[in-house]
A and B are shown apart, each in its own frame.
Chain A
Amino acid sequence: MLFNMATTPEDEVQRRLVSDVRQRLLTKHPEPELIVLLDGTSLAGRWSPEKMAGREQLWARMVEGLASEVIVAVRKESARDRAHSS
């Protein structure tokens, strides 16, 4: 499941969504593997690495027990990077 990392995860919104998806998966697979992918592109350059790590942990805690992994991804060729390098 892909989320924007800039979004603050909420119990009632993101966790509930991940939980609902997992419930659906459970009807078809006994042990579904659910991975949360966080798009950190819009935060790269705006946030410090420490703050990014903090946000990653926040997401990891939020989907604990539901997702097997939380992966942060940043697009290499974003418009932001180009603007930054120009």
Chain B
Amino acid sequence: MPSLLSRFKASNSPPDAGESGVRDASDIITLSLVSHTNAGKTTLARTLLRQDVGEVRDAAHVTLINESFTLIETGGFMMRLWDTPGFGDSARLMKRLKRERNPVVWFLSQTWDRITDRPLWCSQQALKNVREDADVVLYLVNAAEPPEAAGYIGPEMEILTWVGKPVVVLLNQTGPAGGSLFDATELDAWRSHLKQFEIVRAVLTLDAFARCWVQEDTLMEALTPLMEGSKIPTFQHVKRAWAERNVDVFRDSVRLISEQLTAALVDGVEVRAETLLERVGWQREELNREYNEARQKLAEGLADRVEQATNKLIEAHGLKGAAGNALSQVAREHFHQPQGVSESIWGVVGSFAGGAMGGLIADLKLGGMTFGGGALIGGIASGIGAYALIRSYNLVRGSDQRLRWSREHFREQVRLSLLTYLAVCHFGRGRGEWEESEQPEHWREAVDAVMEEFADDVDRLWKNGVQKETAPSSLYRETHQVAGECMTALLERLYPGVDASSWRV
């Protein structure tokens, strides 16, 4: 995997000799992240770098100096990202600059006080970086503002036009991942508004909180035609390395989910056969107790695996935090109540378990024993109201007297794995520590559609695992294939037009 992240501050110089294997300036692609103040540049930098860099706070002019980070480095080529201070007081600055014959040179030659002239100091730093370093400017806007209300865009675009570097506009703060909040109409409104600036070569959605790696590839595609001369082959190298890194993470994710699902298929707990009397319902207490213990054992095993797999997914995506910390605490407090989990406890769980897998873990750890009543949590949204109880057998007993997950339960596990994958791969590092949250409706629709498309394959997996008892290694290969196809189909549905050929399993 190509190395990630080295960093150095300000002063607009080429990388130090020995800092990397990069030979000269033509081997470096430099992207300057620029915007009006507090649009979320540092947050986006964190998401793109998978590292906590800089300071993030809801206030104007938090970042005061230019800071450079290595986005990716491979085979002597490097892509660098500059996080810059935001422009401020732009309309006034523009008015002043218009009085000068050579406004950029004049502006950069002035001495602005970092404290008393903070907006101008910050604007100067940003402009200096764009002029001296940038191959392409990534201009970030806060898409929560309507374009016509963002009065600073005009002056800032005019200033950038004087410098002449190509600009790609990134729409940040679009709301929950690819959600309905930011629809095609809004994207069109921004594109139409920005059309007046010739310097703008592309307008893309890239939310620092909720972007998916697939959208990073789209950004790289948009940058491709903006490279010139010796930078063209350099960009091809770093673009390929970037895509490969993302594909590696995708493949890791497929592997982790496949391992989790395969383990669920092979898992089983031995129970003794019913006596004739027990079969007709006499003196079943002992047998029921045995079954409940077996159910609990299966449930605990599944809960642990789900939690572990989610944690590994989180780590693979360069995120901080872990799944189920809060849930485990709740589980410990209430674990002694195997039956009849009360409404109030579900309320507590609901408040912790916002997302899909949170709901499942909570169900397994807290309510695992309630499976005995034939109730399985299929909740995929936060809050008790959204927990749908699926009235079906969650366990089956095979001819080998082992209790195993039922076909319906396994389908639910696949569905929840896909939802969890979406939640993790859309979670931007800039958002902070991993936390589950309510998932957009269109994710559920997409997962339902994929589950329908691959229903036969998923059922075949269950049949091979539970009924035919296929060897785990063969079962894993099959599961890996199906999980990979489902995950690819899911991303293709959510991001129509993406080229999935390189990441297909």
Contacts and interface: CB of A to CB of B under 8 A. Distances in A.
Contact of A8 (B60, B174, B181): B60
Q: Interface size class for chain A? A: 20 to 34
B471 interface: no
Contacts of A83: 180-181, 183
Given A7-B149, A45-B181, A86-B180, A12 B175 contact: no
Interface string A32-53: 0000000000110111000100
Contacts of B37: 8, 10
Interface string A1-38: 00010111111110000000000000000000000000
A84 interface: yes
A13 B89 contact: yes
Nearest to A79: B185
Contacts of A47: 144
Contact of B181 (A4, A10, A13, A84): A84
B173 interface: yes
Contacts of A11: 60
Given A4-B145, A12-B88, A46 B59 contact: no
Contacts of A51: 58
Interface in B127-158: 142, 144-146, 149-150
Q: Interface size class for chain B? A: 20 to 34
Contacts of B173: 6, 46
B367 interface: no
B92 interface: yes
A6 B183 contact: no
B181 A46 contact: yes
B149 A4 contact: yes
B175 A10 contact: no
A58 B180 contact: no
Contacts of B149: 4, 6-7
Interface in B1-51: 37-38
A7 B91 CA distance: 15
Nearest to A13: B89
Nearest to A8: B38
A10 B145 contact: no
B181 A6 contact: no
B301 interface: no
B176 interface: yes
A9 B60 contact: yes
Given A13-B89, A84-B180, A42 B60 contact: no
A58 B57 CA distance: 11
Contacts of A43: 144
A50 B144 CA distance: 17
A54 B119 CA distance: 22
Contacts of A55: 58
A46 B146 contact: no
A6 B119 contact: no
A58 B58 contact: yes
Most chain A CB inside 10 Å of its own CB: which residue of B37, B60, B174: B60
B145 A12 contact: no
A51 B144 CA distance: 13
Contacts of B59: 8, 58
A54 B173 CA distance: 16
Contact of A54 (B58, B91, B146, B176): B58
B144 A46 contact: yes
A55 to B, nearest CB: 6
Nearest to B92: A12
Interface in B174-192: 174-176, 180-181, 183
A41 to B, nearest CB: 10
Nearest to A39: B149
Interface string B85-97: 0001101100000
B156 to A, nearest CB: 13
A42 B174 CA distance: 10
Nearest to A81: B181
B63 to A, nearest CB: 13
Contacts of B92: 12
A53 B149 CA distance: 21
Contacts of A42: 144-146
Contacts of A6: 142, 144-145, 149, 173
Nearest to A14: B60
A54 to B, nearest CB: 5
Interface string B49-91: 0000000001110000000000000000000000000001101
Contacts of A86: 180
A8 B183 contact: no
Given A4-B149, A13-B91, A46-B173, 12 more contacts: A8-B58, A10-B60, A10-B119, A11-B60, A12-B89, A12-B92, A12-B119, A45-B176, A46-B175, A55-B58, A58-B59, A83-B181
8 contacts: A6-B142, A8-B37, A8-B142, A10-B88, A12-B92, A42-B144, A42-B146, A51-B58
Interface of A: 4, 6-13, 42-43, 45-47, 51, 54-55, 58, 80, 83-84, 86
Q: Sorted from nearest, which 4 A-B pairs have the closest CB atoms?
A: A8-B38, A46-B175, A6-B144, A12-B89
